[in-house]
Amino acid sequence: MGNLEQAVTEVLSISELHLPSSTLATAAWGVLSVLLRSSLYAGRTTAIYSLQRDQQRFRMSGTEEGISKDELLKMMAKGPAHIFDVRTPAEVAEKGKIEGSINIPVDEVLDALNLDPEAFRKKYNAEKPKPEAENLVFHCQKGMRGNKATQTAISLGYTRARNLIGGYGDWASK
């Protein structure tokens, strides 16, 4: 195995630590970018395809855990879930939404979760989730902004918040 492949293996193993640290995800993503550029210059398309397959693992590496479409469907079947769509209102209007989801753009998540329950209800016409809620899911189109929103929620004490793996793009495509 060449140096590039060894580096890729090492970087990919970082995401298996499940550390709730956005710093780890950012660092890993930076290394991945360098590896992709190196592969392009060296003409190593096999390594590039391998890295692209694992891109979603990097997107989720900063969260405690992600939730798949199937897991979210099961959660929704058991009862109400707090599903927050962190895309822009224009994206939601253009591409659609998960039924029952509430749109809170990613840049508003911190302020929204800091609202008192009554102010949250008035602004979003929905119940504010409790910090211990197990049914709290964030999503965007692909995963990056959902991950950021999930990290914000975790930092505010919503320790069981999850990010929908693959975002709305995967949700709508299957």
Contact assessment for residue 86 and residue 104, using Cβ atoms and an 8 Å cutoff: yes
What is the radius of gyration, based on Cα positions, of the chain?
17
What is the pLDDT averaged over residues 61-69? Answer: 69
Q: Is the pLDDT of residue 19 over 70?
A: no
The string of pLDDT tens digits covering residues 77-87 is 999 999 999 99
14 and 45 part of one domain: yes
Q: Reduced to 3 states, what is the DSSP secondary structure of residue 63?
A: coil
Average pLDDT over residues 110-117: 98
Mean pLDDT of 132-149: 94
Number of domain units in the chain: 2
∠ CA(149), CA(114), CA(154), 5° rounding?
Answer: 40
- Answer yes or no: do 96 and 167 share one domain: yes
**56 & 70 share domain:** no
24 and 104 share a domain?
Answer: no
> Which residue in 140, 149, 154, 161 is the catalytic one?
140
Band (pLDDT 50/70/90 cuts) for residue 34 is confident
Last residue of a domain, one of 29, 60, 91: 60
Percent of the chain with pLDDT over 70: 63
Is 33 among the catalytic positions? no
Same domain, 161 and 91: yes
Residue range of the domain that includes 56 = 3-60
Same domain, 100 and 17: no
Residues 141 and 163 in one domain: yes
This model's pTM is above 0.85: no
CA separation for the pair 103, 82 (Å, rounded): 11
CATH number at residue 150: 3.40.250.10
Same domain as 104, residue 52: no
Last residue of a domain, one of 11, 37, 60: 60
